[in-house]
Amino acid sequence: MKTKLTVNGRTHEVDADADTPLLWVLRDHLGLTGTKYGCGIARCGACTVHVDGRAVRSCRQELQTVAATAKITTIETLDQNARGKALQEAWIEHSVPQCGYCQSGFLMAATSLLERTPNPTDAQIDTAISNLCRCGTYPRMHAAIRSAARRLTTSEAP
């Protein structure tokens, strides 16, 4: 089945079964391997992407449920989003990643959190981000998210 899909600002025609999860379309059909497979059951968040600005676990988003008009963003272009870029910088500054495998998902989830809640408290971060990291990089994430949020709110101030 041929489906039109807009990913990172480019429209692709994808030949995949209607029930193919968006995750595998991105990874195997479009070669966008920054989005990761971790569980396939929407539990780990490694596959998080943005669909129209909302964080979505792409392993449970079938191709046929993605609206033809949907705009999909993946980690590969996260730096074009001011919040995403600020988070990437904060991640580097706080040396968050270890193996790095889960980090795309965390950054996508954190970006979407800052869109909704520009200055989240630690408790709000804990509730909003339920991704998994086996290397245990969690202890640095609150500080990294808060420093990105700070930078964004001060730079956005008139």
Nearer to another protein, 40 or 146 (CB): 40
Name which position in 53, 92, 119, 153 contacts another protein (CB under 8 A): 92
Q: Which residues of 89-128 are buried (b: 16+ CB within 10 A; e: fewer)?
A: ebbeebebbeeeebbbbbbbbbbbbbeeeeebeeeebeeb
Name which position in 3, 7, 27, 113 contacts another protein (CB under 8 A): 27
How is residue 103 written in tokens?
Answer: 């980090």
Nearer to ligand FES, 31 or 139 (CB): 139
Q: Which residue, chain included where needed, has tokens 């965390």?
A: 106
Least distance CB 61 / ligand FES (angstroms) = 9
Least distance CB 41 / another protein (angstroms) = 5
Query: With binding defined as CB under 6 A, does residue 37 bind ligand FES?
Result: yes
* CB neighbour class for 140 (10 Å; exposed up to 12, middle 13-18, buried from 19): middle
Name which position in 61, 73, 104, 112 contacts another protein (CB under 8 A): 104
Query: With binding defined as CB under 6 A, does residue 140 bind ligand FES?
Result: no
Is residue 18 within 8 Å of 64, Cβ to Cβ? yes
Cα separation of 39 and 88, whole Å? 24
Per-residue mark of binding to another protein, 40-59 (x: CB under 8 A): xx-xx-x-------------
Least distance CB 68 / another protein (angstroms) = 20
Cα separation of 98 and 71, whole Å? 30
Chain residues binding ligand FES by CB under 6 A are 37-40, 42-47, 57, 59, 97-103, 133-135, 137
